[in-house]
Amino acid sequence: MIEVKDLSFKFKKKPVLENINIRFGEGEFILIAGNNGAGKSTFLRCLTGVLSPLSGSVYFKDGLSKRRIGYIPDGLGFFENLTLKTAINFHTRVFRTGGFDDSLLKELDLDPDSKVKTLSVGERTLFLFSLILAQKPRLLLLDEILHAVDAYLRDIFLDRLLDMIAQYNTTVIAVNHTFTEIEKIPERVLVMENGGFIIDEKTDTLREKVKKIELGPDEPVPDDLPVLFKKETPYIREYYVYPFEEKMRTGFDLEFRDLNLADILKSFIGGYYVKKRV
């Protein structure tokens, strides 16, 4: 549905995105992780068209109209001085959407006559999401929005998000630092580093490929073990192995443990900092 070709972007002569080629299919839920400054937000902005790439292109196939693309940015400085009611009118006119469903506002007990700036960060996120829902989105881009939303609102948001996906078969691309709540949802995971994707895997495949071993204080680390990231304290010696292969279980006399997605992504991001120091 979306095809990104040779996409590059520079900010003040510094390359932010370098020659990205990637495709996203209809109804996919993709999680993008990576260290701060890897280029994740810039990539999303290039997809929305907010930023024009230096070179390369983003194709939307099957007649995907910009009106059906929703984007929730990291900083939410929108419609500050408007009342909710005015903002709704404005948004539905610009995106030429049909009726606005106010059930979410009612659930959150938000007054349509209050100003957007009086809402909490979490409420604003959900308010913007309710505007986007009126667009019947076929593509939704989420830029690290869950961390600022409290647990109660996060729950409401996730319910509505899953409803939306079921209803419109929306493709969702989510940039995230907090994974636990949504970690069962994405079927595909990307890891970004230095403006490019270093990992593009089905979630289930990635889970098979990253394992953890724990060593005792005097046990040596086997030389030929591919260690992605390690954690060493006087009490803990943990090594994250990637790419893990099943035959290693017999090759090494070690216990290879499964990891949750949050730990897997943490080890890739940690691996970046290790490489940077070397």
Partner 1 sequence: MFRMNIDTASSIPVYKQAIQAIKVEILAGRLKDGDSLPPIRELAKIIRLHPNTVAKVYAALQDEGFIAGKMGSGHWVTFKKKKLDSLKKALIEDEFRNFIDRVLAVGATKTEIKELMEKHLDGDHHD
For partner 1, the binding residue among 162, 221, 236, 274 (CB under 8 A) is 162
State the minimum distance, in angstroms, from the CB of residue 68 to partner 1. Answer: 18
Is residue 204 a contact point for partner 1 (CB under 8 A)? yes
User: What are the DSSP E strand ranges found in 101-150?
Assistant: 139-143
How many Å apart are CA 198 and CA 192, to the nearest integer?
A: 6
State the minimum distance, in angstroms, from the CB of residue 53 to partner 1. Answer: 29
**Touching partner 1, residues 93-122 (CB under 8 A):** none
State the minimum distance, in angstroms, from the CB of residue 249 to partner 1. Answer: 12
Nearest CB to partner 1, comparing residues 25 and 251: 25
Nearest CB to partner 1, comparing residues 105 and 182: 182
Instruction: Let me know: does 208 contact 243? Beta carbons within 8 Å.
Output: no
Is residue 198 a contact point for partner 1 (CB under 8 A)? no
Beta-strand pair 29-34/188-193: parallel
Nearest CB to partner 1, comparing residues 7 and 259: 259
In degrees, rounded to 5, the angle at the alpha carbon of residue 245 between the alpha carbons of residues 242 and 251 is: 110
Is residue 261 a contact point for partner 1 (CB under 8 A)? yes
The DSSP code sequence of 24-54 is E-TT-EEEEEE-TTSSHHHHHHHHHTSS--S
Phi-psi region of 272 (alpha: psi -120 to 50; beta: other; left: phi over 0): alpha
Contact footprint for partner 1 (CB under 8 A): 27, 29, 158-159, 162-163, 165-167, 180-187, 203-204, 207-208, 255, 258-261, 263
